[in-house]
Structure 1
Amino acid sequence: MERGNQTSIMLSLMATVIVALGLFTDIGFTANRFVSDILVKQVATKRMPPNNILIIDIDEYSLKQMESIAGKWPWPRSIHAHLIEGLSELKPEAIVFDVLFSEHDIYRPDSDAYFSDVVAQNSNVYLAGVEVSSNSMLTPIKLKDYQQALSLEKNNDTSTQALSSLVLPWIVKREHWRVGSINFSTERDGVGRHYDVYRNLNGWHWLSLPAKVASSLNYSLPNSSSIKLNFIGNELIPFASKRYVDVFQILEASKDSSAYHHLKQQIENKIIIVGSTASGLYDSRVTPISHHYPAVSILATATENLMNQSYFTSVNIWAEILALCLVVLLFTASSLAIKNFRNVFFIIWPAWFVISLLLLLTSYFLALNDYLFSVGYLILSSFITVVTVSMFRGIREYQQRKKLLTIFSRFIDPRLVRELIDEQSLELSTRSKSCRVTVLFSDIRGFTTLSESRSAEQVVTLLNGYFSKQVATIFKYGGTLDKFIGDAVMAFWGAPVEDELQSENALKAAIEMTENLIEFRQSLPDDLQDFDVGIGLHTGEAVVGMIGSEQRYDYTAIGDTVNLASRVEGLTKNKARILLTESCKNSCRSTFNWIPMGSFSVKGRSEPVNVYSIKGMLIQTEQ
């Protein structure tokens, strides 16, 4: 396995593990809840309120209008007793108070007694209780003593000495209690999303008020300790509702009125929930629907959810983890595996957008069917993964591009290097490969004599001027400059980029190099007119790659093909400026004026080598 692939796999696995662990952190919680809350709010707008729940609202208007009858809040309990008596005649299925009746009215004890008697006479009246912190000023009660009154359930591990601090409807006789808890717990971000089915009181299970009502009406309860609320609508009171004062006045008026008969139609066989939305009573909570959502609407929502089993069921956490790992692993691996960095933006980012959209749509349609699939962290983590991997790929590719440009610009035309890098056709690899190449060797004739009659500085200046022209020609025809060997130049075609016309391009470069020689020689003094060149060409298999040590390596070709090209260049002396082997000649697709130069024995070859030259106006051979 290649090192790059190993790195990609390791990074993919590391990213997957880190992201999976992040699901259980505050980041995972916040992301999931953010998206889930949006979905819950959207799904709520699609749900219609049930026709069997009616809220009697103690609102600001009712508080104001009831002052002449009941005075300031809290009202005498006899007011609520009158309400129960009047409603009972209209035959509701249940009357539920989201109001606490815990403190005795020391100034109106008869009013409390009246309320207690009315509750005792009506078995469909349900009252609220609350568990408070053990640090409160309340005296804890022994739960065993209230097992029957509160319908507490215990298990084998429940302690008979367990205590709890509870706010209960003490003004009503204990034997007539039908009490459930109305505690509404928030999550770590301060938002309430669940409602108790039962409350665990130090091992004793106490049904919540909605669960108490649903159970009493023979609805089955879920096995879980709480449900995730599936809200209805986007209004603060999404259920049918009437003002407390309006209901009270109708019940106190004539029973023959049309208003009374209309009220009877609204009350009969309905679950009546009495609660407050008045801002002065501060009975609101933070929910996904609103930061000031009336507690009475929450209680009604929980009651509806339990009766219709419409509460949200969360998708198994392991399914979420599996989906998270698969998506992150997919994006990480594919982002690292894609060769072209631009494809990260043209493929991975559109893919992320589409998959994220599909996840949201899937989550939305599941939510419409009462299943909650948390995809917020999944989308966020995949986004962070793609961003991180994109940056990693960008930095790595920039470094690789810079390295490639630095290395290959010495051997290939820098403009071609940039194009090849952009096309991902040029890759840096320390592994050599065998391929077909055409090798060119060019040597200066008479260089030894020249160097003996000139200073070192003059020789270097002369060579630099000559080599500049020749290298430009090699680059022009797509050749790769291998090395300078004293006064000789080695180049080859066919690597690192494949070239179907490699032999022909090499020969054209050789022809132009001889033309460069003639032009360059015209600028030299008379004593350097013997300055000449010999060029040898051969096409065959060679090993090409980055060869050298860790401290220094070059892109070069080695093998018998290179050796033979060098030997052919040595045969040019006193014969021709250009000589090429038969394999090079046969590989040329264009027709040149070939001149057979005979067969020659060369070092390292048991059989003679046939060589050829070409003739033309600009090519002068020496007989």
Structure 2
Amino acid sequence: MRTKNIYFSMFITLVVVIISFIGLFDSVENNGRDSLFQYKKKNVDLQNIVIVGIDDKSLNNIGRWPWDRNVHAKLIQKLKEGEAAVVGVDVILAESSKKESDDALVNIVKSVGNVVFPVVGNFNYKKLSAQFKMGKIIGDVNPESIIESFEQLKKISVAGHINVFEDPKDGIVRSALESFKFNNKEIKSFDYVIVKEYEKRTGKKILNGEIPKDFFNRYYIDFNGVPGAFNHVSYYDVLSGKVPPIYFKDKIVLIGPYAEGFPNDSFYTSIQKNARMYGVEVHANIIQNILHNNFKQEVSELIKILITIFLGIASYFIFNKITPKLSFILLLLLSAIYLIISRFVYSNGYILNVAYPLILLALLYIFSIAYKYLNEFAERRRVTNIFGKYVAPQVVDEILKGELKEMQLGGEKREISVLFVDIRGFTPLSEKVQPEQVVEILNEYLTLTSESIFKFRGTLDKFIGDATMAIFNAPLDLEEHPLKAVQAAFEMKKGSEKLRKKLQDKFGISVEFGIGINTGYAVVGNIGSSTRMDYTAIGDTVNTSARLESSAKRGQILLSASTYERVKDKIKANYLGEIKVKGKETMISIYELEDINVD
């Protein structure tokens, strides 16, 4: 059983390794990461990014969207006056409009030189969704076409793509696409381009090396706060002068929709799944990650596998060595420790699996409980098979509670009281009645002897034809076992009266018991071969008891001196003298039981 337990634990661990590699429960894994890793970050400076929102106030005062390009030109002029470090416009201006308006916008953008405009990739989302679901097998996320700024603006400005990808399994935004290719040209993300422009304008070196990406050229977004976490002002308030230009000095300014009604520009994110975040806020979070080189990288598959195997081994040795209640406490403790370690590792730039290790711990805990239950059930059945037919049910329960284990071949020397009982007159009776009636009568008598033995916590050793052998004080210790044996014999004698009268009336022949009891040391245990063994007792004590039974007359209960001396204060017995029994050189004293003075 123990070997099977090891193999099953190894199998469960292997299964979890495989399903984590193929991403079978990635939805659960992603939700686990969201809960553990995505929270409002303390001591994070969000002052260097400002959102100028195209909000309801602006729409009410400026008019319906889209606005004249002159309006955008005036806003950018305000930001130029305030010496904003970089301006990112999260609004696609693909079509030309009135020439004078377009010219005004182009001229101000050209004079400022620090305005980034968006590119939108048109993806086959059905194909893209299938790619994402395939996980590590397929890469290359590229659009079928793109939408850019109108021609004049495109020529004099820099641009980056603003595509935000939702997880196809649950529609949650968790990662950003670093770049894609179109017509053999690499188009970097809007956020990446803004940071590169920020480097140029400020002279600061921000990006240290490559951004760690997955198979699809994406990187994990560490959100800094729920919707509304970044400073934001109304587009109209900037345009009207309510917010002075100096407010934007040396800041990254993002201009974008900040009101309901703009299609495809708000998203559910991993930091808050019950409230949508505007696209411009998603970009603000990504830019903040890049500014602080706050990138989270998946640990290698090898490390994930090794962690899973380690947890599997540790769980096996923990859960299978202690009680289920303590196992459950340790399950919670191990899970908590792993989550704390995962969060610490995350804060240092690496992402560990969250759900898969906890799934493994839970499965191994459940398996250990099931294994212990099945093992206990098997042990209970094994003990019951050995003793269930020999002892009373309550004795079997005590054996199980005492966790009596290694019941193999062999035994022990211990003091016992042995009772033999035989039916006197059974042979003549069997010659007068039908075979089926013989069996019926015999079963009635053997049932009586069995019940009497069990009532006084004896062990039914065996049936020998129409005789019964019982031992007291094995396998469990039994106080006053000589008295218990005597009480069982007296119970048989009383019970036989009813059966004797029944047979006398029906067949004209009566039968009675002859009983012998002896107390002494014997070898007790499982005796036999590896294929067949019985729980029994052997030795002179047993033989003497059998000789006493054969010497007993009808209805007589004979006690040896060793038994009588242990019970003489609680019984009434007649001394019958000494007799010679087969197998013994010396004479033995015997007593006939008349009555018992205890209940």
TM-score range, shorter chain: 0.7 to 0.9
Deviation per residue, 1:458-494 (Å, 9 max, x gap):
7656544544443234324433212211122123356
Deviation per residue, 1:217-253 (Å, 9 max, x gap):
131144323431111222x231111111110111xxx
The answer to whether the aligner puts 1:540 opposite 2:518 as a matched pair is no
**Paired residue type of 1:95:** V
Normalised by the size of structure 1, how large is the TM-score? 0.75
**Paired residue type of 2:234:** R
Deviation per residue, 1:248-274 (Å, 9 max, x gap):
111xxxxxxxx56xx244211111111
Deviation per residue, 1:535-573 (Å, 9 max, x gap):
355533344179686xxx674337xx2586236522565
Contact kept in structure 1, 2:55 and 2:234, CA below 8 Å:
yes
CA separation of 1:514 and 1:95: change in aligned 2, threshold 3 A: closer
Partner of 1:255: none
| Partner residue of 1:33 out of 8, 30, 34 | 30
CA separation of 1:371 and 1:47: change in aligned 2, threshold 3 A: farther
Partner of 2:412: 435
Deviation per residue, 1:490-527 (Å, 9 max, x gap):
233565x442x58x52x333322442354356554698
State the distance in 2 between where 1:135 and 1:52 align: 34
The gaps in structure 2 that reach 5 residues or longer are 127-141, 200-204
CA separation of 1:409 and 1:530: change in aligned 2, threshold 3 A: closer
CA separation of 1:510 and 1:313: change in aligned 2, threshold 3 A: same
State the distance in 2 between where 1:26 and 1:546 align: 56
Contact kept in structure 2, 1:134 and 1:165, CA below 8 Å:
no
Partner of 2:490: 515
The answer to whether the aligner puts 1:44 opposite 2:40 as a matched pair is yes
CA separation of 1:610 and 1:323: change in aligned 2, threshold 3 A: farther
CA separation of 1:171 and 1:247: change in aligned 2, threshold 3 A: farther
Partner of 2:137: none
**Paired residue type of 2:211:** N
CA separation of 1:567 and 1:77: change in aligned 2, threshold 3 A: same
Displacement of 1:301 after TM fit? 0.6
Partner of 2:257: 276
| Partner residue of 1:214 out of 187, 190, 195 | 195
Contact kept in structure 2, 1:542 and 1:562, CA below 8 Å:
no
Superposition pairs of residues 376-387 of structure 1, within 5 angstroms: 376-387=355-366
Contact kept in structure 2, 1:127 and 1:178, CA below 8 Å:
yes
Partner of 1:6: 3
**Bigger Cα displacement from structure 2, 408-417 vs 198-207:** 198-207
State the distance in 1 between where 2:181 and 2:521 align: 87
Superposition pairs of residues 31-180 of structure 1, within 5 angstroms: 31-41=28-38, 43-44=39-40, 46=42, 48=44, 50-67=46-63, 72-105=64-97, 108-133=98-123, 165-172=145-152, 176-180=156-160
State the distance in 2 between where 1:328 and 1:103 align: 60
Displacement of 1:413 after TM fit? 0.6
Superposition pairs of residues 224-235 of structure 1, within 5 angstroms: 224-225=212-213, 226-234=218-226
Deviation per residue, 1:271-314 (Å, 9 max, x gap):
11111123222212231224632110011111111111234344
Contact kept in structure 1, 2:54 and 2:259, CA below 8 Å:
yes
Deviation per residue, 1:133-161 (Å, 9 max, x gap):
3899xxxxxxxxxxxxxxxxxxxxxxxxx
Contact kept in structure 2, 1:48 and 1:233, CA below 8 Å:
no
Superposition pairs of residues 111-510 of structure 1, within 5 angstroms: 111-133=101-123, 165-172=145-152, 176-189=156-169, 190-200=171-181, 205-216=186-197, 217=199, 218-221=205-208, 222-225=210-213, 226-234=218-226, 236-250=227-241, 259=242, 263-282=244-263, 283-288=265-270, 289-290=272-273, 292-331=276-315, 343-344=323-324, 346-367=325-346, 371-387=350-366, 390=369, 394=373, 401=380, 405=384, 408-421=387-400, 423=401, 425=403, 431-436=408-413, 438=416, 440-444=418-422, 446-447=424-425, 451=429, 455=433, 463-493=442-472, 497-499=475-477, 501=478, 505=481, 507-510=482-485
State the distance in 1 between where 2:512 and 2:394 align: 35
State the distance in 2 between where 1:611 and 1:6 align: 55
State the distance in 1 between where 2:106 and 2:337 align: 57
**Bigger Cα displacement from structure 2, 593-602 vs 378-387:** 593-602
Q: Does the residue aligned with 1:100 lie in a helix, a strand or coil?
A: coil
Q: Does the residue aligned with 1:112 lie in a helix, a strand or coil?
A: helix
CA separation of 1:610 and 1:87: change in aligned 2, threshold 3 A: farther
| Partner residue of 1:17 out of 14, 27, 33 | 14
State the distance in 2 between where 1:301 and 1:609 align: 104
The gaps in structure 1 that reach 5 residues or longer are 137-161, 251-258
State the distance in 1 between where 2:468 and 2:96 align: 110
State the distance in 1 between where 2:398 and 2:549 align: 36
Normalised by the size of structure 2, how large is the TM-score? 0.77
Displacement of 1:52 after TM fit? 0.9
Cα RMSD between the aligned structures?
A: 4.2
State the distance in 1 between where 2:261 and 2:427 align: 111
**Paired residue type of 1:168:** E
**Paired residue type of 1:38:** S
Partner of 1:152: none
State the distance in 1 between where 2:586 and 2:12 align: 60
Q: Does the residue aligned with 2:240 lie in a helix, a strand or coil?
A: helix
State the distance in 2 between where 1:112 and 1:295 align: 25
State the distance in 2 between where 1:447 and 1:493 align: 27
Displacement of 1:534 after TM fit? 2.5
Partner of 1:147: none
Percentage of matched positions with identical amino acids: 21
CA separation of 1:543 and 1:184: change in aligned 2, threshold 3 A: same
Displacement of 1:616 after TM fit? 7.4
State the distance in 1 between where 2:564 and 2:21 align: 71
**Paired residue type of 1:115:** L
CA separation of 1:449 and 1:63: change in aligned 2, threshold 3 A: closer
CA separation of 1:208 and 1:566: change in aligned 2, threshold 3 A: same
**Paired residue type of 1:61:** K
Contact kept in structure 2, 1:5 and 1:337, CA below 8 Å:
no
State the distance in 2 between where 1:618 and 1:589 align: 12
State the distance in 2 between where 1:104 and 1:121 align: 20
Deviation per residue, 1:437-472 (Å, 9 max, x gap):
547351427446654675367765654454444323
Aligned pairs, number: 551
Contact kept in structure 1, 2:160 and 2:189, CA below 8 Å:
yes
State the distance in 2 between where 1:188 and 1:88 align: 40
Q: Does the residue aligned with 1:227 lie in a helix, a strand or coil?
A: strand
CA separation of 1:469 and 1:407: change in aligned 2, threshold 3 A: same
Deviation per residue, 1:327-355 (Å, 9 max, x gap):
445556665666xxxx43x2333332333
Q: Does the residue aligned with 2:168 lie in a helix, a strand or coil?
A: coil
